[in-house]
Amino acid sequence: MSSILSVVEKFQGLLEENLKFKFSSGRMTLGKCGVPNRLFIFHLCQNQKLFSDFLQEAGLIKGVFVCEKCNSEMKIRAKKNSSDGLMWVCRKKTAGKECGIQKSIRHGSWFSSSRLRMEEVFFLTYELVRGTKSEDIQEEYFLSSTTLADWRQFVNETILDYIELNSEKIGGIDKIVEVGESKFGKRKYHKGHAVEGQWVFGGVERGSGKIFLVAVHDRTRDTLVGVIKQWIEPGTAIYSDSWESYDCLDTEGFQHLKVNHGVTFVNPDTGCHTKTIESTWRHVKSTLPSHNRQMDFKFYLAYYLYIKSCKEQKVDCFNKYLEIIRDENWAEKKFSV
């Protein structure tokens, strides 16, 4: 199967001729070398035939559909009365009579359980995966807030599933992992009823920069040691501040060094410091959206890790998302947005 990148690149080439508008210096593009931009999505969604060709080539809808009744290959045909404007149709003739079986173009695909138009699904997904703020999307497209919230939930869950499936323990023998806890924001549900912020516990492996981030309810020994055992290989040297919950790590199969931040940032005897995790917190906080904090915190963390992993793999985050969608088995998945 072709990569999403190469399919996008091909369609960028096909759509380029539609670009009549030119800047006096420079030129408008549909994105570069297979990395799509908003203008590309717009032009693609405007041309029904090209859009369905794109979806087929990218593997986002079926490439081949065999008729259940007569076993012949069906074809995608324009159908004005259908909601998508296109349908799978079987034109096989037996004894002069056409089979006539019709199936939705969405059959067995990502689009199959959505009541939105396929173009809407595509556009909305692009904006959400790119990290566009909800209020900007609503202002731009006049979408209902329920539609937007539902689709955001779907995108969030897909990304969370992907991150959970593709995360592994960090550290190991001869490796150092810095751990720490940080409190994120203060959320106010309604006036006079402030809810304390969200504790996040995390660790970063020195050298590789591999990290884990987990939203936790508290900073007790049971909670933190539980997360450490889930995310850090035994035998790892763990560097932490002097928070008392870490005091048992020596007896839990780890080497443990600590630094007392009340006194100094580098332990003068051991050289232990936690500057890497501190700078990770600053980075996570600076990239988190300040709006729409009513969302479950685990989704923010998963999104942060998703964007980080796309950058490390040098892949575009929307192309990568389409790849995740393509590789799902939608016939077995039940969802409705």
Residues that bind Zn ion (CB under 5 A): 67, 69-70, 90, 92, 99, 101
Say how far apart CA 119 and CA 249 lie, in whole Å: 52
Buried b (16+ CB within 10 A) or exposed e, 193-205: eeeeebbbbbbbb
> Which one, of 336, 333, 307, lies nearest residue 153 by Cα?
336
Nearer to Zn ion, 99 or 176 (CB): 99
Q: Which is nearer to Zn ion, 73 or 135 (CB)?
A: 73
Q: Shortest Cβ distance from residue 76 to Zn ion (Å)?
A: 14
Least distance from Zn ion to the Cβ atom of residue 61, Å: 19
Report d(CA 160, CA 323) in Å as an integer: 15
Output 70 or 295, the one with its CB closest to Zn ion: 70
What is the nearest approach in angstroms of Zn ion to the Cβ of residue 93?
Answer: 10
Is 213 buried (19+), middle (13-18) or exposed (0-12) by CB count in 10 A? buried
Q: How far apart are CA 163 and CA 307, in angstroms?
A: 10
Instruction: Give the nearer residue to Zn ion in terms of CB position, either 74 or 86.
Output: 74
From CA 115, how far away is CA 173, in angstroms rounded?
A: 51
Nearest CB to Zn ion, comparing residues 82 and 242: 82
Give the tokens for residue 190: 């309604």
CB nearer to Zn ion: give 73 or 161: 73
Query: From the CB of 132, what's the least distance to Zn ion, in Å?
Result: 43
CA distance 73 to 88: 10
Q: Among 154, 152, 124, which Cα is nearest to 42's?
A: 124
